[in-house]
Structure 1
């Protein structure tokens, strides 16, 4: 019975087992061992394990024949089959009446464990990368906000001086150069805010195919005659929820990168299709929800990228181009746009093999209406004359506060200014029958602008509001959706922008 039990265990064990004699020659093995090694029973029986080329395996056998337990853990290359397998083997001596007559090895295939460990490490690396980009995004967003405040001061006061002097004054053209430079700087800040997902947006329901087709000629002209552009657009691709201009920016940034990666003649392909992202995919992408997505695939046959470059492509200001040939904001901007609209981006590339960019956007679902943005006012609204208003202004930066006061005075508005929202609240009772508009910075140390407006609204029910911020409206959109009489104005803004906001709100 004992022998029968041993035979059953030997034959049916879920691991590989083999026995060898005192000379290290294999005398028996089970089917699982044959399968792990990738050989045949005939080739394995009679094999002398002390003559294997793998010294670690030989040492493990020798130790067991010396009466010790030993372990072998490595990639084993079979001498009886063309197969390399990661295995873990435990060796024990077989002792009969005090004499070592051979040994027994229990062998486990470690392929699954290694793959699982590799997958775990891959997920950990993706999480580290996502956390790094998130941290960079927060840092960049804060810097961009502060820089927007500085640009507001520069452009605002330059504009105020420009209004006071005649066009033939030599300083007039200098001021125009300053204003032009602030506009260029504001564009760089806008790209930084895009990466940190804090730029001003105006999303709507769109079909990716429509935008791609509408911009095909522009993209082809941008790529040049030596690069062909092919479109493979699925007829039934899902609508998505996105700001049209930012989607075009994705296309132009990717096209620009591909163009620079193609040294001579090449081709770029844009493909759209519908994809269902399952739990397995989402497990590797933090924040992903299983469901239907529109996939936009961008493929080029350019020079490709090595692993080190691939790991850093989404970092702001990272570039492989020569100094002066690029800002390094192209792909970081794409990353920010994709993330802002709850999408995902994967990039595959190898040196000399080109690059594949896969972008996934969720299938369109019904959304809340947008907050009115001051720069999206139509021509009819622009014809409206601004009535004289009594305006409360609160801005924690005293220089910007002074600039806004001067702009409003030039627009013939009555202004009461505060740089502390708590001070304004204490004084609000004195103005409640006169004030009809509040201009408030969204982010202030003591109280945010939305909270301030809601408190004032209880005693001044007719109060309207213009929110201003160096950040975008995106983080506060849901809160502002509840405020019907509101306009959002992003810094830096001009006096014309302020004028249009007043027209809309009056």
Structure 2
């Protein structure tokens, strides 16, 4: 099946992967594995081929283009670049499009491209030494190796995960692919490593042999040259010695010269010149007249006394037309030591070259021999076609080398590559060189490389064939097992029909299978039969499982509903708790404000009452003062309502107070909360009824009941507030009594009881809600309109006062809340609430009762002190509890009463009273407070009748002080007795 993939679609992660792979290939190609001269294995195409196999041929081409740039820098030509790019594209296309194996696709590519590859490497002239075919074939082997390694690399799990992260599509991960990759790596990598090592070692051996031969040849040439020069030097010396004994007769000298020349075969010409350089004799005879050699430098050296002078190469004018020559000159000395002439023997460079060639020709080596004089001129060579005689060359600029050099060839003016070695002739300083063309080394290396290159593809294809055979042997029974498994998966009950009864029921005999696969087949067939047997049992139990599943789903649905209900309840309670905390914080804030207002109102009421007491009733100023006092009293009522709202009297003591006054206060508060659609009526019992409770808390109870009644009438209606002294207990029946389990008849039979009823004409309360009315956080109001704490708090206040709550309701007709409280006895004396009595303004005497006033507010402290002075008391003031305690200790408790505020910094009033009663138990303490909370009393102090609330008038504080002193005086004998 052909795979379709977007050919020209740009994928940014794939492009980045191609660039990274190209960079890695560039770095890997920059360090090739050398196996000989100009032969390298490059493995940079591995990374581009991986990209081509996994991301697509176009991305592989980009990576191959980057990786192939290294070959340009390595060999200074780019012949490899197009082949690497084409290889990545073809291999990637065939593998991705037609699902070919990577090695097979690469082999097809190189078979098709080999003619062009051969033509470029053989005919291009880049490899003139005859290695073009070997290099071309090396590219084929190199490509097959890179493709094999690239395909094998995809079998690494970590490498595969890395490629898949960037969108690569890896080949199918089958057992056959894994086995092929493992076999390839196990067989090819060690074989290639061993072959490369062998080829490298053989190449090094060939190079070492070339170096040894070059050294030997150069030394041989130097030795031959030394021998020939020694013979020529001796011949010249002998001739000079013989001529020195002869008379100065030119004819005799010429005859002797000709006879000697017949035996000195090394010289082409012999000359005798006088000290002026004029030739007087020669052999053969020189026909040129007036021949003179005075300008030659070697003549002057010979005349100066040197034995033998050997010249560099020079052009010989005698005889004309001869080849370049070398002159050997020796002086002719007389008996007295003077020099009368010079003997000169000339040897042509051609003759010297023939001597060298004749000496080494029997070796049959393809070496080039060159001898240079001191002027870097070629004196002798066995290749005059390459190195003409007396031609200038740069061979003298180099020293001994054991590697290939590019050298200029004088005959052509071009450069050629040679392996060079040199030796120096010690007498003359001439340089002897042995050169071997680079092609000779290539030819020797080819004998090693070509078998090696043939061995690598042979190993590759043998391994590929072996892996294919192995895969077929393993995969055939596995494919049969897979087909059987698919049939059983479609219909497991067919197992007894499609499987034979024998344990080894596979298609192939067990003897033809490996033991592991035979055991796997046997186990699979046994499993399949067992599966077929259990299918009937499973289908029989399927109905029961379905029923159980349905039950579990029903139970899950019920559980989810219950969990949702519980979660909603928890959320509602948590929200109610948070709202309750907000209300509590708001109450604390309101109580603090009320406390400050109480201090202000106390000053106003006290001073207004003092001024009214000082003035006559007909004083015109009394009218204004009375207006001030009435405004302050209205402010006191307003603060009282705030304190009731804030529940600031939690730590206050229960008091005996008139019930109807508290209800009237609540009535004034709720009338401002009701709109015109709600009508409030009251019906109080005749006479005053006293109850024992905390006034603020009880007012809060009826305030909550009246507000709930209003909320129960969204369309308006009538609310009635009634009080009745219960006379007939039988009439108090019906409804629900709270707290649950309480008996109302027991309360009614034990003591006189007053019933306070709050009735409304609202929607009523359903029976299922009635039992949960007083539960904390339970409410039937909408969200954010109720905390669920009103009735639970009200019930706590009622029960703390010794009462009960009864609720009657009928849906659609209304609800009645009946509060039952015990009736308390009317107190014998109380604090007047009007504050209208006038003070007598008695002047304190020496026997006046002493009062200590403790108040942190200076205005309130001054007001209380002024009121008590007007009442005839001796007053001592203290600004806080610590100062008051210091005064008491200084005066040993000689006070008749201590008046202290409850809330003060440092030491509060409760702490001061505790210290006083521990040391002076008979000293009474009167507390004054705007309000007292549990933080002030630390929940360990209970107020008795020794508390008066702010704001109060001067008359009220004076009368309260007098009543406490009278009470303390009456109790003194009892305490003593």
Could you tell me how far apart the structure 1 residues matched to 2:559 and 2:720 are?
Answer: 44
**Which of 459, 483, 497 pairs up with 2:956?**
497
CA distance in 1, matches of 2:954, 2:877: 17
> Deviations 1:81-119 (Å, cap 9, x if unpaired)?
xxxxxxx8xxxxxxxxxxxxxxxxxx7763212211221
* CA 127–252 in structure 1, closer or farther in 2 if over 3 Å, else same: closer
Matched with 2:786 is: 311
C-alpha contact 1:442 1:467 (8 A) present in aligned 2:
yes
More displaced 10-residue stretch of structure 1: 166-175 or 257-266:
257-266
1:165 maps to what in 2? 615
CA RMSD after TM alignment: 5.4
Structure in which a larger fraction of residues adopt strand: 1
TM-score between the two structures when normalised by the length of structure 1? 0.54
Does the CA contact (< 8 Å) of 1:373 and 1:488 recur in 2? no
Partner of 1:415: 875
Contact map agreement 2:852 2:899 (CA 8 A) in 1: yes
Q: Is the 8 A contact 1:153 1:403 kept in 2?
A: yes
Q: How many Å apart are 1:372 and its aligned residue?
A: 11
Distance of aligned partners of 1:495 and 1:480 in 2 relative to their CA distance in 1, 3 Å threshold? farther
Give CA-to-partner distance per residue, 1:364-413, whole Å, 9 cap, x none: 9xxxx9x9996389xxxxxxx99931111110001110111111110110
Please say which structure displays the higher CA radius of gyration.
Answer: 2
Q: Which residue pairs with 2:761 in the alignment? A: 301
* 1:267 Cα offset (Å): 7.4
SS at match of 2:831: helix
What is the alpha-carbon distance in structure 2 between the residues aligned to residue 5 and residue 109 of structure 1? Answer: 26
Q: Give me the whole-angstrom Cα distance separating, in 2, the residues matched to 1:393 and 1:357.
A: 49
Alignment map for 1:106-505 (pairs within 5 Å): 110-199=560-649, 202=654, 242=693, 254=705, 273-275=735-737, 292=742, 298=758, 300-302=760-762, 307=782, 310-311=785-786, 340-341=797-798, 375=831, 388-432=848-892, 434-471=894-931, 476=937, 479=940, 481=942, 487-505=946-964
Q: CA deviation at 1:465?
A: 0.9
Superposition deviation, residue 136 in structure 1? 1.6
The alpha carbon displacement at 1:492 in A equals: 0.7
Mapped to 2, the partners of 1:164 and 1:456 lie a distance apart of 35
Question: Any idea what the Cα deviations from partners look like across 1:211-233, whole Å, max 9, x if unmatched?
Answer: 99xxxxxxxxxxx9x989999xx
Quickly say closer, same or farther: Cα 1:202–1:462, change in 2 above 3 A.
Answer: closer
* Inter-partner Cα distance in structure 2 for 1:482 and 1:188: 24
Aligned 8 A contact 1:374 1:500 in 2: no
Q: Cα–Cα, structure 1 residues 480 and 125, in superposed 2: closer, same or farther, change >3 Å?
A: closer
Q: How far 1:126 sits from its partner (Å)?
A: 2.0
Instruction: Report the Cα distance in structure 2 between the residues aligned to 1:158 and 1:206, rounded to whole angstroms.
Output: 26
Q: Distance in 2 between matches of 1:145 and 1:160?
A: 22
Aligned to 1:382: none
CA distance in 2, matches of 1:164, 1:390: 23
Q: 1:188 to 1:400 in 2, by over 3 A?
A: same
Structure 1 residue 501 displacement after superposition: 1.4
The Cα of 1:430 is off from its aligned counterpart by: 2.6
Partner deviation per Cα, 1:108-135 (whole Å, 9 max, x = no partner): 7632122112211221122123222212
When residues 230 and 117 of structure 1 are mapped into structure 2, their CA distance, relative to the original with a 3 A threshold, is farther
- State the 1:182 CA deviation: 1.1
Alpha-carbon distance in structure 2 between the residues aligned to 1:336 and 1:108: 35
Residue 11 (structure 1) aligns with: 547
CA distance in 2 between partners of 1:173 and 1:313 (Å): 49
The change in CA–CA distance for 1:423 and 1:250 in structure 2 (over 3 A counts) is closer
Alpha-carbon distance in structure 2 between the residues aligned to 1:277 and 1:195: 24
Instruction: Quote the offset at 1:263 in angstroms.
Output: 7.0
Aligned counterparts of 1:195 and 1:336: Cα–Cα separation in 2: 13
- Determine the C-alpha separation between the residues in 2 that align with 1:313 and 1:179: 40
Q: CA separation of 1:134/1:341 partners in 2, compared to 1, >3 Å: closer, same or farther?
A: farther
Q: In the TM superposition, what is the alpha-carbon distance from 1:253 to its structure 2 partner?
A: 7.8
TM (norm. structure 2) is 0.30
Counterpart secondary structure, 2:946:
strand
Q: Does structure 2 retain, via aligned residues, the 8 Å contact 1:394–1:417?
A: yes
Higher relative contact order by CA 8 Å / sep ≥ 6: 1 or 2? 1
Query: Could you say if the C-alpha distance between residues 338 and 177 of structure 1 is closer, same or farther in structure 2, counting changes exceeding 3 Å?
Result: farther
Cα distance in 2 for partners of 1:400, 1:242 equals 28
SS of the equivalent of 1:466 reads strand
| SS of structure 2 residue aligned to 1:412 | coil
Offset at 1:299? Answer: 5.1
Total equivalences in the alignment: 351
For the residues of structure 1 that align with 2:574 and 2:743, how far apart are their CA atoms? 25
What residue is the counterpart of 2:512 in the other structure? Answer: none
* In structure 2, C-alpha distance between the alignment counterparts of 1:418 and 1:230, rounded to whole Å: 47
